[in-house]
Structure 1
Amino acid sequence: MGKIAIVYWSGTGNTEAMANLVAEGAGGSADLFTPDQFSPDQAAGYAALAFGCPSMGAEQLEEAEFEPMFESVKPSLGGKTIGLFGSYGWGDGEWMRTWAADCEDAGCSLVGEPVIACGAPEGDAADACRELGKALAAV
């Protein structure tokens, strides 16, 4: 069981709550980072990574901090096992489907279905976050 990095951006606290649930599911073997704390050099030190970002604007990743960090890290993710999560307030999850396809195109292995929560992660969404953490911890 290797180390897990959880890198997230949260505007309202919902995606941060999801990140904490993923970490809980991972059983304490995860390091949490915000985009300004994580670099491509760090990605190599982790067996698995989870990335969390809410849907912004027209169903897209947060553009000022998260997307630039993710684009800089993406080339070092080939062959890595990753999980994706994020909250949304409208739409149907298109941003997550687009993001997952982008990750697969970059050579990442998704550890399961990305987890999305409408608003705060409760019930099934909270359980799915914990399950994502468990799956990452098993890598």
Structure 2
Amino acid sequence: MKEVNVIYWSSTGNTQAMAEAVGAGVEEAGGKANVIEVSAADASMLKDADSFALGASAMGDEELDAEMDDFVTTVEGICSGKTVGLFGSYDWGDGEWMRKWVDRMTAAGATVVNGEGVIANLTPDDDAVAECKALGAALAK
């Protein structure tokens, strides 16, 4: 059984709901999901993993929250050759923050599932939840 860490930051609960859907997708595919809020996570738990998921909502001018950004900076040093799933919610804009995040992880040597992140405008709808579950299933393989 493959174990997949799903690390997230959420300000309103929307990204947390997405993280839980990613975790459900991992488990439905036969894996074990560890859904962890970033304040309780340590990047070292991802060092030996071949895949994991990171989620965060967009803040301010379509940026990652400072705590999540610090975590991602650390992860950049250990993600080369790994498969990473990215997801998150936003309130306004067009998802530029996610495109930048995908580029950032790709530049660090990671393979981003489907070449893009899963995004939801505010509360994830049924389609976004399904995409999150599919993301989890892909990471569990």
Q: Please state which band the TM-score falls in when normalised by the shorter chain.
A: over 0.9
Q: Structure 1 or 2: larger helix share?
A: 2
Distance, in Å, in 1 between the alignment partners of 2:35 and 2:126 is 23
Aligned residue for 1:82? Answer: 84
CA distance in 2, matches of 1:10, 1:89: 13
Query: In structure 1, what is the Cα distance between the partners aligned to 2:122 and 2:6?
Result: 20
Residue 72 of structure 2 corresponds to 70
One-letter amino acid of the structure 1 residue matched with residue 128 of structure 2: A
Q: What per-residue deviation string (whole Å, max 9, x for no partner) do you get for residues 30-88 of structure 1?
A: 1111222222321123231100000110000011x111111112101111110000000
2:7 partner letter = V
Runs of 4+ in 1 over 6 A off after TM superposition: none
- Which residue in 2 is equivalent to 1:118? 121
Q: Which runs of 5+ in 1 are unaligned?
A: none
Q: Which amino acid aligns with 2:77?
A: P
Corresponding position of 1:33: 36
Aligned position for 1:60:
63
**RMSD of aligned residue pairs (Cα, Å):** 1.2
Residue 13 of structure 1 corresponds to which residue in structure 2?
13
Structure with a larger share of its residues in strand: 2
Out of 34-43 and 21-30, give the one that drifted further.
34-43
In 2, the alpha carbon distance for the partners of 1:29 and 1:135 equals 13
Q: Secondary structure at the match of 1:76?
A: coil
TM, length-normalised to structure 2: 0.92
Quick one: which of 50, 55, 62 aligns to 2:53? 50
| TM-score normalised by structure 1 residue count | 0.94
